[in-house]
C-alpha cells in the first residue's frame, strides 16, 4: 500500500506525464519565447498572446491575461523577459481559483446521487466507471444506472465497467425510457442502502429543447423519489475539442443545474488551456480531469497542482 505522501507524489507524476502535450503547447513555447527576448516589449506580448490563443485559452481570456500582465509589468517596473513566466503562472492560478469553487465531489452525506451528462464520444461511460472505482476504493457502496438508453450498446459498455469495478448496474433494454431506468435504480439504491448512485444519461438528443425536456424529466423523478439524497450533476467534456467543449458547457448549463465539470483526454491534447478558458467563461468548477487510460488517471482537480505540473 502507498503511504499518503507517496501516493500524492505518484499522482502528481502521472499528472505531469499526462499533461506533457499541453506543456509543450504552452510552457515550453513560453520558455522559448522569454529566452529569445532580452527585454519586455510589445512584440513579446504579441507572441505570448498567440501562444495562449493557440493553446485554447480563448481570445477573451487571453486578452484579459495580457492586459493584466502589462499592468503588472508597469506597476512592478519589470524589464527582464524571464519575469513574464512567473507572473503568467500566478495569473493562471488566480483565474482557476478566483471563485473559491469547491472542487470536491459533493457526495456527503450519503445517500448521494451523481447524474452524469454530456454528448456521445466525450468519455462519459469511461468516466463513470473510473468515478465508481475511486469511490469504491474509498469504501463507498456504489451502484450504476444505465440511463443512456438511446445509444446502441451503452448499457453493455456500462455493465463491463460495473463488472470490472465490482459494482451493480441497473439497466433496461435499448430504447427504453431513460427516466424509468433512473427510477428503478433509485428504488434499488434505497433497498441496498447504497452510498452513491451514479447515473448515465442520454448523450445524443437532437436539439437543446429535447435535452432540456429529457433532463427535466429525470430531475423531477430524482427530486420526487430521492429528495433527501445529496445531489451532484457532472458534465463530461472532451478536452481535445477545445473551444467546442466551452460551447457545449454553455448549452448544458442552460439545460441543467451543472455543479461540476469532468475534463477527459487532457493527455491527448496540446490545447489543455481549455481548462482555463472554461473556468473563466462558464463559471462552473472543474472537479475531475482525465490524464490517461488507467483507472487512477481520472484525478481530482486542484488549480495550483495543475499549474505546478504544467510549469514544473
Arithmetic mean of pLDDT, 121-136:
94
Contact predicate 130/295, CB 8 Å: yes
Q: Map out the domains of the chain with their CATH numbers.
A: 112-258 (3.40.50.300)
* Alpha-carbon dihedral sign for residues 219, 248, 118, 284: negative
- Calculate what percentage of the chain has a pLDDT beyond 90: 47
- Enter the C-alpha cell of residue 160: 463491463
Answer whether residue 161 shows pLDDT above 60: yes
What tens digit of pLDDT does each residue of 6-16 get? 455 577 788 88
CA dihedral 160, 166, 172, 176 (to 10 degrees): -70
Answer whether residue 189 shows pLDDT above 90: yes
Answer whether residue 176 shows pLDDT above 60: yes
DSSP-derived 3-state class of residue 23: helix
The answer for residues whose C-beta is within 8 angstroms of residue 143's C-beta and 6 or more apart is 167, 168, 169, 170, 185, 188, 189, 192, 194, 196, 197, 198
The better pLDDT of the pair 211, 193 is held by 193
Arithmetic mean of pLDDT, 213-234:
92
What tens digit of pLDDT does each residue of 261-285 get? 999 998 888 778 888 888 888 888 8
Region of residue 219 (phi > 0: left; psi between -120 and 50: alpha; otherwise: beta): alpha
Which of 249, 286, 244 is closest to 269 using CA atoms? 244
Arithmetic mean of pLDDT, 63-71:
94
CA distance 203 to 216: 15
Amino acid at each position: 500500500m502507498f503511504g499518503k505522501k507517496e501516493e500524492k507524489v505518484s499522482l502528481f507524476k502521472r499528472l505531469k506525464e499526462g499533461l506533457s502535450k499541453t506543456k509543450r503547447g504552452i510552457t515550453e513555447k513560453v520558455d522559448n519565447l522569454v529566452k529569445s527576448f532580452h527585454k519586455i516589449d510589445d512584440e513579446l506580448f504579441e507572441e505570448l498572446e498567440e501562444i495562449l490563443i493557440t493553446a485554447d485559452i480563448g481570445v477573451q481570456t487571453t486578452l484579459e491575461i495580457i492586459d493584466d500582465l502589462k499592468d503588472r509589468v508597469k506597476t512592478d517596473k519589470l524589464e527582464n523577459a524571464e519575469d513574464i513566466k512567473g507572473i503568467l503562472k500566478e495569473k493562471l492560478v488566480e483565474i482557476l481559483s478566483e471563485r473559491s469553487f469547491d472542487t470536491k465531489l459533493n457526495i456527503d452525506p450519503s445517500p448521494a446521487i451523481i447524474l452524469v451528462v454530456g454528448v456521445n464520444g466525450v468519455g462519459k461511460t469511461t468516466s463513470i466507471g473510473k468515478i465508481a472505482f475511486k469511490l469504491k476504493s474509498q469504501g463507498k457502496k456504489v451502484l450504476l444506472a444505465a440511463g443512456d438508453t438511446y445509444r446502441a450498446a451503452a448499457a453493455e459498455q456500462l455493465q463491463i465497467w460495473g463488472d470490472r469495478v465490482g459494482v451493480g448496474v441497473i439497466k433496461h433494454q435499448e430504447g427504453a425510457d431513460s427516466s424509468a431506468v433512473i427510477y428503478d435504480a433509485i428504488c434499488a439504491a434505497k433497498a441496498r442502502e447504497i452510498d452513491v448512485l451514479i447515473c448515465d444519461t442520454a448523450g445524443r438528443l437532437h436539439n437543446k429543447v429535447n435535452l432540456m425536456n429529457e433532463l427535466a424529466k429525470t430531475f423531477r423523478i430524482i427530486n420526487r423519489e430521492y429528495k433527501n439524497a445529496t445531489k451532484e450533476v457532472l458534465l463530461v467534456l472532451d478536452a481535445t475539442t477545445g473551444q467546442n467543449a466551452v460551447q457545449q458547457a454553455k448549452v448544458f448549463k442552460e439545460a441543467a443545474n451543472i455543479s461540476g465539470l469532468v475534463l477527459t483526454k487532457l493527455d491527448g491534447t496540446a490545447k489543455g488551456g481549455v481548462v482555463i478558458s472554461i473556468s473563466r467563461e462558464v463559471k462552473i468548477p472543474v472537479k475531475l480531469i482525465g490524464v490517461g487510460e488507467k483507472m487512477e488517471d481520472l484525478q481530482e482537480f486542484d488549480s495550483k497542482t495543475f499549474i505546478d505540473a504544467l510549469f514544473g
